[in-house]
Amino acid sequence: MTTRIVITAEHGGNEVPAKYRSLFENAGEVLATHRGWDPGSLELAKLFARRLKAPLIAAQVTRLLVDLNRKVSNRSVFSEFTRPLDREARQAILDRYHTPHRSRVESTVRSLIDAGHDVVHIGMHSFTPELHGEVRNADIAFLYDPSRSGERSLCLAWKKALQAARPDLRVRMNYPYLGTSDGLTTTLRRVLPPESYVGFEVEVNQLWPQSRLEAWPGLLASLFDTFTTASAAYGQDVSQGSGRSG
């Protein structure tokens, strides 16, 4: 059974489509913050996709227009800038940005599974170093469902490899968010066969892409190198985008 990787970035940019710029006329500062996007996530996603020869499905529209990592029923799918819009306008945003991204991810994964592959889906994200006065005590985190053995095994193997290669890093699991909270991987777990789909999120502290620019390329390299090490320990060779397991 071959294993294929799919890389996504739901918050890769803070772009505001021309049609909606009037909603954000005075929002320049907040658009530049973690509320507007996940700095560093798209760069990380592109590196993995390029090196692994893996599909990359990324969005650069600001999450303040619509949050692609939240399901429609989640109130936070819309921000204070778009929540006041009427139902028709909100639906138009969902139809143009939210549904296509999530459908494309699901269809990409399903097509690989239908072709006889197992799939490892990695959602690339980043988190603000401080939120509501609380300093986040981590550099890297893996968000997964502990009840799913595939996710647990691969994430633990990656953490072990990363800590061995970079003892300077603070690596945590299901922090600063739970891997079972609302997210695209959580949704896909409910509709895809567990024996074929492994989905989890990587979270990087935004201090690295924003304030530690000289060290940022080294961290990117360490993340990729240790992922290949973890994949081998997990029983898969995914260094070229596909491999053998079992």
pLDDT digits (tens, 9 = 90+) for 127-182: 999 999 999 999 999 999 999 999 999 999 999 999 999 999 999 999 999 999 99
Q: Band of the pLDDT at 233, cuts 50, 70, 90?
A: confident
Please compute the mean of the pLDDT values over residues 51-68 and round it to a whole number.
Answer: 98
Separation CA 38–CA 109 (nearest Å):
23
Model confidence over 24-42: pLDDT tens digits?
Answer: 999 999 999 999 999 999 9
Collect all residues with Cβ–Cβ distance below 8 Å to 132 and sequence separation of at least 6: none
> Is the pLDDT at 183 greater than 90, yes or no?
yes
b/e 197-232 (16+ beta carbons within 10 angstroms → b): bbbbbbbbbbbbbeeeeeebeebbebbbbbbbbbbe
The pLDDT assigned to 236 comes to 58
The CATH number fitting domain 2-244, selected from 3.40.630.40, 3.40.50.300, 3.40.50.620, 3.40.30.10: 3.40.630.40
pLDDT at 1 > cutoff 70? no
Q: What are phi and psi of 173, to 5 degrees?
A: -115, 135
The span from the CA of 155 to the CA of 227, in Å, is: 9
**How does the average pLDDT of the chain come out, rounded?**
94
Task: Provide the pLDDT for residue 156.
Answer: 97
CB 108 within 8 A of CB 6: yes
pLDDT per position as a tens digit, 40-49: 999 999 999 9
**How far, in Å, CA of 142 to CA of 140, rounded?**
7
* Arithmetic mean of pLDDT, 187-195: 96
